[in-house]
A and B are shown apart, each in its own frame.
Chain A
Amino acid sequence: MRFIVCYKWTLDEEDIRVDRETRALALDHVRQRISPYDRNAIECGVRLAEEQGGEAVALSVGGPEVADSLKDALSRGPAHAVWVGCPELSGADAAAVAKTLAAAVRHIGEYDLLICGEGSSDYYNQQTGPRLAALLGIPAVTSVSGLTLSGRVLRAERKLEEGLEIVETDLPALVTVLPDIGEARIPNLKQILAAGKKPVVRLTPAELGLGPEALEPRARRESLLGTVADRKRIVLRGEGAVAELLTKLRAEGRC
């Protein structure tokens, strides 16, 4: 079987600083990493490949910066990686990313299950997976917290607001997974060493038949402002702190 896992190379928001005055974001010196939920997705694909036989393939779409992610992704167990890149794909929207992924999946050809993380840590749109399934015309099962395969039938547990939904569908299909699907491994030294020797296929959207119009964003960015909590920021300490707090809360009618 072939399990294709899609991952995103995202900015680590822990490194982003907000200027309190201008609300501008300082994005330089921000490290990039594989989006955390996508690490669980990769782990899921790799475990399924071990269990069912076959291979896991890592697939990513993005700008030139994605080159830095490949060994990281491969050290987590996939047999090889496919990267569709061009500068226009840096920060592309979900519509463009899903179209590019769909073209890449068609290019890869045979597959049984596509696995995506539930959402990326940067935009958390939660739409790339189900968009991709729709474009490929295969069933999508989102918010999956557990899954099993028996033959060509996928049984999945979806964690929804109203409860746990158990569903079945036939392969090929797409799932988006929650972290519950399984803890992502810490790659060991030998896996990292081996990653450098695994094959990587590099494609451009043009090679997949996607023209510039396919990547055109559906919206124009107007503003990006750091959030600054508008709070009183009163610090209380020492013996009288508790009494002082309660006095203030009562005065405000909070308790």
Chain B
Amino acid sequence: MYDMTLSQEEQLMLQSVREYSENVIAPAAKEADATGEFPWDVVKKGIELGLHALPIPEAYGGAGISSVLMSILAEEMSKACAGIATTLGATGLSCYPVLIAGNEEQKKLYFDTIMAGALGAFCLTEPGAGSDSGSVAATAERDGGDYVLNGSKTFITNGGVAGIYTVFATVDRSRGLKGLSAFMVERGRAGLSVGKEENKMGIRASNTTDVVFTNVRVPASHLLGREGDGFKIAMTTLDRSRHSVGAQAVGICQAALEASIRYANERKQFGKPIGANQAIQFMLADMATQTEAARWLVRRAAWLQDQGLPYSMESAMAKTFAGDTAMQVTTDAVQIFGGYGYSRDYPIEKLMRDAKIMQIFEGTNQIQRVVIAGRLLKA
């Protein structure tokens, strides 16, 4: 029933991504994390491989891969560096509103820009509108054949490095959620400026900034769907991309698990490897079991999506469980490494810092639980 066997092409794609992750991402991860500088060389290589454009269908120049494969690839990249995986993944995220609501010309414009090598950014969150998308304050005012956008977006992944944005703004604040609308905005539009860059705890290789819109004029043809479709588009987008966040969390778990196993074998205390102690063994067993459980929740949600079956509760479960698991597993990894785990000279504490965001972004794990409970009680 759940046949997730990869085709030969899919295996080759995984092989390419593995090579990229191990040989290009991994060597750059430590420095990008330490300096917070955007690793353009590494990202450009990922763009060349098409890894920023995973959701784009073949008809629009993408590789048109399944959600299951997308989650496998995201896991692989995140295992090497969750920050760089986030940069590439966020471009994919920004494509979903166009994929969901765009017409042919809009898809062509947006996807051509991405396939030509641009990063994308999904601009929903505002200082006053995090989990509560209904309180978006950015406005889009119709003016002849144009819309004029005003407002400020915050915590935008790729905010300062994207070439094109999908932006959520309200055409009528009084209509609340029903006024929310989605637009495509190119980087070069007058009035679009990049605000302050966040100095983050984790995923420091990724670029997170404010994006400020001051009388930014876009043609009416840049409205995705109709006025008022924004909330639906945003929620569908988050539903569809959620498994990728779960997959990133699993990648972090896997990195922490593998490092812990190696260390348990290498590190000797009292004349034997620390892995000889049951205390460590049980921790490793739990870490491995939780990682495996998270992985298959994620893949099943992706599989449901590929089959055209309902998946939003399952993807919420997958994201929540994988995010919480990443936090737990990386905390345990730091514990196994002891003082070395706490030291910035060793790669373990980075995993713990990177893991934390997995419980927060693209819908906090609390909001996910609201979604899950809502679904349970509706039935």
Contacts and interface: CB of A to CB of B under 8 A. Distances in A.
Contacts of B218: none
A186 B19 contact: yes
Interface in A192-206: 192-193, 195-196
Contact of B9 (A68, A195, A237): A195
A188 B50 contact: yes
A71 B11 CA distance: 10
B283 to A, nearest CB: 25
B58 interface: yes
B51 interface: yes
B49 interface: yes
B50 A189 contact: yes
Nearest to B47: A188
Interface string B131-171: 00000000000000000000000000000000000000000
Interface in B9-40: 9, 12-13, 15-16, 19-20, 23-24
B63 interface: yes
Contacts of B9: 71, 192-193, 195-196
Contacts of B20: 186
Contact of A72 (B12, B24, B49): B12
Contacts, number: 47
Contact of B65 (A68, A71, A75, A189): A189
A250 interface: no
B278 interface: no
B48 interface: yes
B16 A192 contact: yes
B272 to A, nearest CB: 13
Contacts of A196: 8-9
Contacts of A146: none
A178 B28 CA distance: 27
A68 B49 contact: no
Interface residues of B, number: 22
What band does the interface of chain A fall in when counting residues whose beta carbon is under 8 Å from B? 10 to 19
B10 to A, nearest CB: 9
B13 A192 contact: yes
A71 B45 CA distance: 22
Q: Which of A72, A186, A195, A196 gathers most chain B CB within 10 Å?
A: A186
B12 A75 contact: yes
B12 A192 contact: yes
Given A193-B58, A193-B63, A71 B50 contact: no
B16 A188 contact: yes
Contacts of A189: 13, 16, 49-51, 62-63, 65
A153 B321 CA distance: 63
A190 interface: yes
A71 B268 CA distance: 46
Nearest to B23: A186
Interface in A179-226: 186-190, 192-193, 195-196
A68 B63 CA distance: 21
Given A193-B58, A193-B63, A188 B12 contact: no
Contacts of A72: 12, 15
B89 to A, nearest CB: 15
Interface string B59-88: 001111100000000000000000000000
Nearest to B61: A190
Interface string B224-267: 00000000000000000000000000000000000000000000
A71 B9 CA distance: 7
Contacts of B58: 193
Nearest to A72: B12
Interface in B315-353: none
Contacts of B268: 237
A184 to B, nearest CB: 10
Interface of A: 68, 71-72, 75, 186-190, 192-193, 195-196, 237
7 contacts: A71-B12, A186-B16, A189-B51, A190-B50, A190-B62, A190-B63, A193-B63
The 9 closest A-B pairs by CB, nearest first: A189-B63, A189-B50, A188-B49, A192-B12, A188-B50, A186-B19, A186-B16, A187-B16, A192-B13
Interface of B: 8-9, 12-13, 15-16, 19-20, 23-24, 45, 48-51, 58, 61-65, 268
Given A68-B8, A190-B63, 7 more contacts: A71-B9, A71-B12, A72-B15, A75-B12, A195-B12, A196-B8, A196-B9
